[in-house]
Amino acid sequence: MDCQKESNMENCICSYPGCSRKGVCCECLTYHLQSKQLPGCCFPSAVEKTYDRSFKAFAKAWGL
């Protein structure tokens, strides 16, 4: 299966500029999980823009 980067990009809400992982979701997820974080698309838009991608920020954002 080929990478679906172009179609993934249509749904990518990450606002961090210049990241080479945009649209390559497997690399994005691996990168953030290594730091106990989640990709930007896991967060509400207002929280995503803070670039705090921690599990703690995720739980707080969704009231968990």
When asked if residue 22 is in the footprint of ligand SF4 (CB under 6 A), the reply is yes
User: Using CA atoms in the order 3, 1, 40, 11, what is the torsion angle rounded to 10 degrees?
Assistant: 70
- Cα 23 to Cα 20: distance, rounded to the nearest angstrom: 8
Q: Is 58 in the site for ligand SF4 (CB under 6 A)?
A: no
Report the C-alpha gap between 62 and 64 in whole angstroms: 6
14 binds ligand SF4 (CB under 6 A): yes
28 binds ligand SF4 (CB under 6 A): yes
Binding span for ligand SF4 by CB under 6 A among 2-10, 24-32, 56-64: 24-32
In the bound state with ligand SF4, the residue whose beta carbon lies nearer, of 19 and 47, is 19
